[in-house]
Amino acid sequence: MRICFVCLGNICRSPAAEAAFAHLAQAEGVEVEVDSAGTADYHIDSAPHHLTLAEAERRGIAIDHRGRQFSAADFDDVDLVVAMDSANERDLLDLARQAGPGAAEKIVRLGSFEDDVDPQDSSTIRDVRDPWGHGPEVFEAMYDHLDQGLRGLLRHVQKQQAGQQSGQQSTRQPGTQ
């Protein structure tokens, strides 16, 4: 599964989410392709924020990313586009209108994968707060918050992959691979 994490600037939340999810998936032996992007063009080619990098290092998470802006064409290359907050989600839905059919259905907010969300009530989905301009403790809290949604996302990916495998098995003809 190909997943792109999206925030505003692509230097704080989404590169952290991309790296933390890759780390988690690898630890659990789950195969995913990850990427991240911003809805804005403020930090194209920039390294992640120094506090995003510092907290990743403290947690033993590798980050290797340069800022890029999400475009309508990116919907074709991914299965899931994971927004950090409701403003990112709205901007992505605008872009999805310029993209092909099925694009909007790929958009989801990370908070929707947290344990305490009521699936019937989108007001219970929490945004991942923008830490830009804040100190190291806010970046530490950002990673803690990301972790909750990312663990739920990983369970979702595992279920999808298990479903795909059993689907493949049930459609496989006897005597074929």
Indicate which residues carry an active-site annotation. 7, 13, 130
Residues in 112-131 that interact with ligand 4NP by CB under 6 A? 130
91 binding ligand 4NP? (CB under 6 A): no
**What is the smallest separation between the CB atom of 43 and ligand 4NP, expressed in angstroms?**
6
Cβ contacts of 15 within 8 Å, gap of 6 or more: 5, 36, 48, 52, 63, 65, 67
* Closer by beta carbon to ligand 4NP, 7 or else 53: 7
Q: Nearest residue by C-beta to ligand 4NP?
A: 9
**What is the smallest separation between the CB atom of 14 and ligand 4NP, expressed in angstroms?**
6
Cβ contacts of 174 within 8 Å, gap of 6 or more: none
Record the tokens describing residue 42, joined without a space.
Answer: 């403020």
Out of 3, 4, 5, 11, the residue judged to bind ligand 4NP by CB under 6 A: 11
**What is the smallest separation between the CB atom of 39 and ligand 4NP, expressed in angstroms?**
8
47 binding ligand 4NP? (CB under 6 A): no
Per-residue interface string for the shown chain with ligand 4NP, residues 128-147, x marking contact by CB under 6 A: --x-x---------------
8 binding ligand 4NP? (CB under 6 A): yes
Cβ contacts of 16 within 8 Å, gap of 6 or more: 48, 52, 55, 56, 63, 142, 143, 146
7 binding ligand 4NP? (CB under 6 A): yes
CA dihedral 145, 147, 148, 149 (to 10 degrees): 100
Question: CA torsion sign, 153 to 15 to 101 to 122?
Answer: positive
Task: Annotate 20-38 with DSSP letters as a single string.
Answer: HHHHHHHHHT---EEEEEE
Residues in contact with ligand 4NP by CB under 6 A are 7-13, 42, 130, 132
